[in-house]
Structure 1
């Protein structure tokens, strides 16, 4: 889940809970001005006992159902309190800077936990209003409202915050489509899928461009590579990797038989090359800097001044020597530029190998048995086999709009899986 999504969920939770708590407090003030007016006290006590038991059962059930999530949230809150206690008075040490950063990152979980405690307290206070028959109707509304708040916190807000933000949320995507089983029909469906993803890009306001493609004389495409540029493109499309199966009657089929064909999709993160990324290529403390007298032609200046520079990147052993410029400063600047270029080239080579490994893992073969999704034209049905979701909206999916329903469902399932793994680790 992206950090923007978890922040949005928290803002909505804070807003909804604040409204409910304010409404509860207003009713509580009103109730303080209204007393019991001669009602049967014995009936009053019996009703009070019944309502108290009802409250206890309700909140206990919420805490029982969300026990594992609440335990992790409480653990995170306790860890945050420990960090706060470890801060020095000056707040100037390197450890303090690290702790302050961690405290900032853990603010959402603290805010959500504070809402939980306030709402739970308000729910407990509601029992006092439930004891008065004249205020029972109003108190029951509060009870329902506050109970809903607690349930929402456990079911939605806490999970959204606990699932770590996606490290690739800012990345664009590179998609490769390749026709598989089915001959010319597979190549025709590849063209249909290409149009589907291009229309999805328009809906999400990504900049899409077909980088390369191989057209066939039959009218289809053997393969295609598409760039989707825009924040969130990779996270949205990464779960499209796999084999897509189509079941339909080809236009060239004379007897009306349904054919089954496949197209393999591979989605990779599109890394942007920029000056900011160069800072990630090396740490200054990992670079050994040596200065020396320049050698070769150049007269007395070459021999008398230490203008030559040699850089050694200790982790990799990459060495750069520069003496072309007259000043040490200029040679150092050019040497660091060359070092960055060489390290970038090495990084790209590693990424290329990783992409090849990812491609082999994501699509071992375009066989029918590896399918992730089936497009059944006769039944107007699209089925994603990973999550068991079937929707009767094939036309909408192929237009790009309906595909968003599958992307959202897959992302939700992905987040739920991550949360379950987090709960199992605790």
Structure 2
């Protein structure tokens, strides 16, 4: 309870520093950015204060009940025993479940949408076919969570999808999907395999925070003079819109060397907009990764959930199972997972594992 006590003391200090607490007065009279920030922090810690008050109240009641356990009146003792058990259970729930959850700092990226990039890997056409399965899985998950989806794909000549870019717009999209970065492996018998032999194919996924220009000004991430813009003719398999106009756009962020090419749309304006969106997202991703590295420079598990070359999940069709290798979770829910619903089981488990890791680090630093 040491960390909780420390947080409550910080909240008390913040409360004494805030000039105005009434939200209506805030909009009319408060001009201090620092005060606005303090009030926001107070608002965020209200549930923690409520849990602390409940903890103190329950502990006091428990102490009062202890004195009644030896009461000479048998009926009073029986009531005290029952009340003691109820209060003990409530205190245990507060300490083991409620408080630890509230101690986890709010995610700084909780409001961000996401860009999901899928690229076929080992396995040729089978990899492209599996990528198409994963793409459908993520689109269905987005529909379940009522997120907006915009998909751009490049088809593979042998069938399936060679690569895809998915813009997922909605609160919490990035925090949920960021766990999908890495190598996804599928084990199944291809439709063209006459001997029934199981093949292994892979698809690489990269999830970036989607940073809209209106929500996060470009100047905070890059300066326009640092971006080299090139236009060229789109390249493709053919069609009346290919090689007729200079619609493709390539951006190069000179300080970092990050390059973004976009030719999926038919107009240069659309490709330019999407290219800058991807550039912002990659720069924001780089910033988030850098911040994590600075905070955990001495931790050995720095890249455990962020290494995009790591095999993170296996989808085994013959056994109808899905295994997440980062947390050792195996579920017999392949069909449900590919429909989007079952994927939530893995996302929830990964988020819980992350929260527990954060709490362990907090306790270690306390």
Q: TM-score, normalised by structure 2?
A: 0.70
Report if the CA contact (8 A) 1:87-1:99 is conserved.
yes
Q: What's the RMSD between the two structures over aligned residues?
A: 3.1
**Per-residue CA distance 1:19-67 (angstroms, 9 max, x = gap):** xxxxxxxxxxxxxxxxxxxxxxxxxxxxxxxxxxxxxxxxxxxxxxxxx
The answer for the alignment partner of 1:170 in structure 2 is 111
Compared with structure 1, are the counterparts of its residues 417 and 127 closer, same or farther at alpha carbon in structure 2 (3 Å cutoff)? same
Aligned-partner SS, 1:219: coil
The answer for the alignment partner of 1:267 in structure 2 is 207
Could you tell me how far 1:190 is from its partner in structure 2? 0.5
The answer for the alignment partner of 1:197 in structure 2 is 138
Compared with structure 1, are the counterparts of its residues 247 and 101 closer, same or farther at alpha carbon in structure 2 (3 Å cutoff)? closer
Report if the CA contact (8 A) 2:209-2:281 is conserved.
no
> Aligned pair 1:207/2:138, yes or no?
no
Could you tell me how far 1:98 is from its partner in structure 2? 5.9
> Aligned pair 1:424/2:364, yes or no?
yes
Could you tell me how far 1:77 is from its partner in structure 2? 1.7
Could you tell me how far 1:119 is from its partner in structure 2? 0.3
Q: 1:145 aligns with which of 52, 62, 86?
A: 86
The answer for the alignment partner of 1:109 in structure 2 is 48
Between Structure 1 and Structure 2, which shows a larger proportion of helix residues? 1
- Cα distance in 1 for partners of 2:149, 2:31 equals 47
Could you tell me how far 1:139 is from its partner in structure 2? 2.5
The answer for the alignment partner of 1:182 in structure 2 is 123
- Cα distance in 2 for partners of 1:346, 1:391 equals 39
> Aligned pair 1:223/2:154, yes or no?
no
- Cα distance in 2 for partners of 1:93, 1:227 equals 37
Q: TM-score, normalised by structure 1?
A: 0.61
- Cα distance in 2 for partners of 1:109, 1:138 equals 31
Q: 2:195 aligns with which of 255, 273, 276?
A: 255
Could you tell me how far 1:358 is from its partner in structure 2? 8.6
The answer for the alignment partner of 1:81 in structure 2 is 12
Compared with structure 1, are the counterparts of its residues 115 and 256 closer, same or farther at alpha carbon in structure 2 (3 Å cutoff)? same
- Cα distance in 2 for partners of 1:109, 1:356 equals 32
The answer for the alignment partner of 1:295 in structure 2 is none
Could you tell me how far 1:142 is from its partner in structure 2? 1.6
Could you tell me how far 1:273 is from its partner in structure 2? 2.4
Give the structure with higher Rg (CA).
1
The answer for the alignment partner of 1:339 in structure 2 is none
Could you tell me how far 1:85 is from its partner in structure 2? 5.3
Report if the CA contact (8 A) 2:209-2:284 is conserved.
no
Could you tell me how far 1:350 is from its partner in structure 2? 6.5
> Aligned pair 1:123/2:62, yes or no?
yes
- Count matched residues: 287
Q: Please, which runs of 5 or more residues in structure 1 have no aligned partner?
A: 1-69, 283-344
Compared with structure 1, are the counterparts of its residues 356 and 263 closer, same or farther at alpha carbon in structure 2 (3 Å cutoff)? farther
Could you tell me how far 1:102 is from its partner in structure 2? 4.4
The answer for the alignment partner of 2:338 in structure 1 is 398
Q: How does 1:263-342 map to 2 (within 5 A)?
A: 263-274=203-214, 277-278=216-217, 281=219
**Per-residue CA distance 1:392-426 (angstroms, 9 max, x = gap):** 11111111111111111111111111111111221
Could you tell me how far 1:110 is from its partner in structure 2? 2.2
